[in-house]
Amino acid sequence: MAAVPTCRDTEFGLQTNFIFITVMKQNWIFAPTNLQQVKEISVARHLPRVIAAVLANRNFSNPEAIDRFFNPSIDNLYDPFLMTDMRKSVNRLEQAMMNKEKVMICGDYDVDGTTATSLLFLSLREIGLTTFYYIPDRDKEGYGLSKHGIDYAIQEGVSLIITCDCGINANSEIEYANQNHIDVIVTDHHEPGETLPPATAILDPKREDDSYPFKDLCGAGVAFKLLQGFLIANNLPAEDIYRHLDLVAIGTAADIVAILDENRTLVAKGLEVLNASQKIGVQALLKVSGFENKTLNVVNIVFGLAPRINAAGRLGEATRAVRLLTSFNKEESSTLSAELEQENKNRQNIERETINSAILQLNATHDLDNDKIFILSDTTWHHGVIGIVASKLKETYNRPVVMIAFQNGVGRGSARSVHGFDLYAAFRQCSDLLDNYGGHKMAAGLTISEKNLPAFISRLKDIAAKSITDEMLFPGIYIDTEIRFSEIDQEVLDYLNKMAPYGPGNMRPVFVARDLQIYGMPRIVGEQHLKFKVSKDRTVFSAIGWKMGEFYEMLISNRLLDMAFVIEENEWNGNKEIQLSIKDIRYSETNHH
């Protein structure tokens, strides 16, 4: 059986609970360093060498770009009218206001969709539009705008539907809406198909004919741009939507899009709003998630808030998530947040069973050494958790994973990819075998008939075998720069804190220090966490290795060690200290004392 990497925390690593055979040695991939450029950045901006090196690695060289990076500002947001169809969208909204039309917001049932729906619902209601929302039932309707949803809009006398985080491929559904005298504004960020739907306006930065300067907005980000466009066109104060940036930050962080450029500003400012949130529903969510009176970051959203919001739509009605996020009633918020907490616990139990079942199937049906993609299916899996399980298996085995839950001969699948393999493009090459598909490079969904499964597996494996290289499958740690212990100080820590919010595209910098000695006796605490002190040239730091108990023998070997780590601040009992969070350990090549 293949050696399987131990699954432990990375910035977005997903925890799993199985036991592994051996530890795969991780490849340390050093960023190519231009010493002259590092020196120039360091001198021009009076920065410590290691911070200048990290900025150079991330392609920041000119002082204005560095200033913008360190000081995200609302003023740096792009003009929404650079997005194709923004003028059409705003005009149609103005018409709806003048004619006192009824508007229905139709959002996806995941975090991005529910936060985007909440954002549009609160903001459009505040500017006087008669607005309500509709989230499709995952079980009965599946993803996105459905005929059932449009029938509901007809029944309610709606003349305009705005989609959130869906709609870019809802061609027949939008055609049906048009036949029933309902206009549709699509706000989405997924890859468009070959033909755009016949909507009144389509806001999607991934449209081929869209010249918007930033392509990586999530659904909540695109919905925010629509509101920004409307306020600018009508000379209304933009502050009216800035107070809802907490919702944009939650949607953006949870959707695992790059936290760069415009997303960096939206998340940085959104975290400020979230950490001072006045929304009663959001406060109730923070409370059940254990974040009351704590300063939240991106990781807290991804692992704390997002699973609870998602649980609403995974196992039941996603509408509950929107009701909570838009609630200003303490009793209602308390009831809904408790429900979501319980749903999340149920989801965790179902997920655990599904992971165990998937791993058994994986070992029975796949060659773990040679298969480039894992495709698993079952009739007992709950389709509400297969996306999470696919993510966890992808993290564990470093392979693209497709999980399909079959019911009555129809399979609904969720897939997650590794960097370099475009899932959406692969599904497009199998489109004749699929009833439906959608998504983007790293995450996609599909619907398939049981009779087409063998042909789909065969073709997808061929596509993967041709386009996935061995390098893409070998787990690596990206190292920003080597660092001396004498360079680790409060100034460096302050700059590292200013580099937040961290996330995809701007991960927490990883450093390597060499020829280190263990100071005192290491301990194993909790769930196989290593706690120890490490020294070099009479400088000593505390260190923690999450779920790294298997390295204990190296620590007590009395040999010099090289370590890859991130630098953090640990606060305990009111005391703060610099702490190294260890990512990997290996024996030094110079093992002399």
Q: Measuring CA to CA, which residue among 219, 213, 227, 183 is closest to residue 201?
A: 183
| Predicted confidence (pLDDT) at residue 176 exceeds the cutoff of 70 | yes
> 3-state DSSP call for residue 376?
strand
- What is the C-alpha separation between 244 and 279, in angstroms, rounded? 9
| Predicted confidence (pLDDT) at residue 5 exceeds the cutoff of 50 | no
> 3-state DSSP call for residue 287?
helix
| Predicted confidence (pLDDT) at residue 505 exceeds the cutoff of 60 | yes
> 3-state DSSP call for residue 289?
coil
| Predicted confidence (pLDDT) at residue 289 exceeds the cutoff of 70 | yes
The pLDDT value given to residue 472: 86
Give how far the C-alpha of residue 15 lies from the chain's centroid of Cα atoms, to the nearest Å: 15
In sign, the C-alpha dihedral spanning 49, 54, 59, 63 is negative
CA dihedral 516, 522, 528, 529 (to 10 degrees): -60
Q: What is the largest CA-CA distance in the chain?
A: 82
DSSP state of 238: T
| Predicted confidence (pLDDT) at residue 52 exceeds the cutoff of 80 | yes
Written as six digits, the tokens of 542 are: 């505390």
The pLDDT value given to residue 282: 96
| Predicted confidence (pLDDT) at residue 82 exceeds the cutoff of 70 | yes
The pLDDT value given to residue 25: 63
Q: Token match 């003028």: residue?
A: 87
Peptide bond into 32 cis (omega under 30): no
- What is the C-alpha separation between 301 and 1, in angstroms, rounded? 36
The pLDDT value given to residue 405: 96
Confirm if 223 and 164 have CB atoms less than 8 A apart.
yes
The pLDDT value given to residue 369: 86
**Who contacts 537 (Cβ-Cβ below 8 Å, separation ≥6)?**
484, 485, 486
What's the per-residue H, E or C state across 120-147?
HHHHHHHCCCEEEEECCCCCCCCCCCCH
| Predicted confidence (pLDDT) at residue 287 exceeds the cutoff of 90 | yes
User: For the chain, what is the mean pLDDT?
Assistant: 91
Express as a percent the part of the chain with pLDDT over 90.
Answer: 79
Write the DSSP assignment of 155-171 as a string of letters.
HTT--EEEEES--TT-H
The pLDDT value given to residue 121: 97
The pLDDT value given to residue 144: 83
**pLDDT tens column, 414-450:** 999 998 999 999 999 999 999 989 888 888 999 999 9
Taken in order of first residue, the domains within the chain and their CATH numbers are 27-56+476-587 (2.40.50.460), 75-342 (3.90.1640.30), 366-473 (3.10.310.30)
- What is the C-alpha separation between 417 and 98, in angstroms, rounded? 46
DSSP state of 503: B
**pLDDT tens column, 321-377:** 999 999 999 999 999 999 999 999 999 999 999 999 999 999 999 999 889 999 999
Arithmetic mean of pLDDT, 190-205: 95
Confirm if 270 and 246 have CB atoms less than 8 A apart.
yes
Beta bridge partners of 35: none
Written as six digits, the tokens of 422 are: 């475009």
- What is the C-alpha separation between 444 and 453, in angstroms, rounded? 17
The pLDDT value given to residue 27: 86
**Who contacts 315 (Cβ-Cβ below 8 Å, separation ≥6)?**
343, 346, 347, 350, 382, 384
70-74, 138-142, 495-499, 559-563 — which is least confidently predicted?
138-142
- What is the C-alpha separation between 393 and 4, in angstroms, rounded? 11
| Predicted confidence (pLDDT) at residue 78 exceeds the cutoff of 50 | yes
**Cβ-based neighbour number of residue 35 at 10 Å:** 10
- What is the C-alpha separation between 544 and 533, in angstroms, rounded? 9
| Predicted confidence (pLDDT) at residue 9 exceeds the cutoff of 70 | no
Confirm if 244 and 119 have CB atoms less than 8 A apart.
yes
Confirm if 321 and 271 have CB atoms less than 8 A apart.
no
**Who contacts 258 (Cβ-Cβ below 8 Å, separation ≥6)?**
216, 503, 504, 505, 506
**pLDDT tens column, 87-106:** 999 999 999 999 999 999 99
Q: Measuring CA to CA, which residue among 258, 263, 313 is closest to residue 117?
A: 313
Please name the amino acid found at residue 313. G
Write the DSSP assignment of 50-87 as a string of letters.
HHHHHHHHTT--SHHHHHHHHS--GGGSPPGGGSTTHH
| Predicted confidence (pLDDT) at residue 583 exceeds the cutoff of 60 | yes
Confirm if 477 and 27 have CB atoms less than 8 A apart.
yes
pLDDT band at 186 (very low <50, low <70, confident <90, very high): very high
| Predicted confidence (pLDDT) at residue 593 exceeds the cutoff of 50 | no
pLDDT band at 7 (very low <50, low <70, confident <90, very high): very low
**Cβ-based neighbour number of residue 460 at 10 Å:** 22
> 3-state DSSP call for residue 476?
strand
Beta bridge partners of 402: 375, 415
- What is the C-alpha separation between 17 and 308, in angstroms, rounded? 20
N- to C-terminal Cα separation, the chain = 39
Give start and end residues of each alpha helix (H) in 401-489.
423-428, 453-467, 470-473
Beta pairing, strands 481-482 & 511-525 = parallel
Q: Measuring CA to CA, which residue among 40, 38, 50 is closest to residue 493?
A: 50
- What is the C-alpha separation between 255 and 74, in angstroms, rounded? 21
162-176, 306-320, 457-471, 482-496 — which is least confidently predicted?
306-320
Written as six digits, the tokens of 499 are: 């580099």
Cα Rg of the chain (Å, integer): 25
Confirm if 188 and 166 have CB atoms less than 8 A apart.
yes
Which one is predicted more confidently, 440 or 214?
A: 214
Confirm if 503 and 258 have CB atoms less than 8 A apart.
yes
Q: Measuring CA to CA, which residue among 470, 502, 421 is closest to residue 259?
A: 502
Give how far the C-alpha of residue 12 lies from the chain's centroid of Cα atoms, to the nearest Å: 8
Beta pairing, strands 476-479 & 130-134 = unpaired
- What is the C-alpha separation between 192 and 174, in angstroms, rounded? 14
The pLDDT value given to residue 140: 78
**pLDDT tens column, 105-162:** 999 989 999 999 999 999 999 999 999 999 988 777 777 899 999 999 999 999 999 9
> 3-state DSSP call for residue 422?
coil
**pLDDT tens column, 17-32:** 333 333 446 789 999 8
Confirm if 583 and 10 have CB atoms less than 8 A apart.
yes
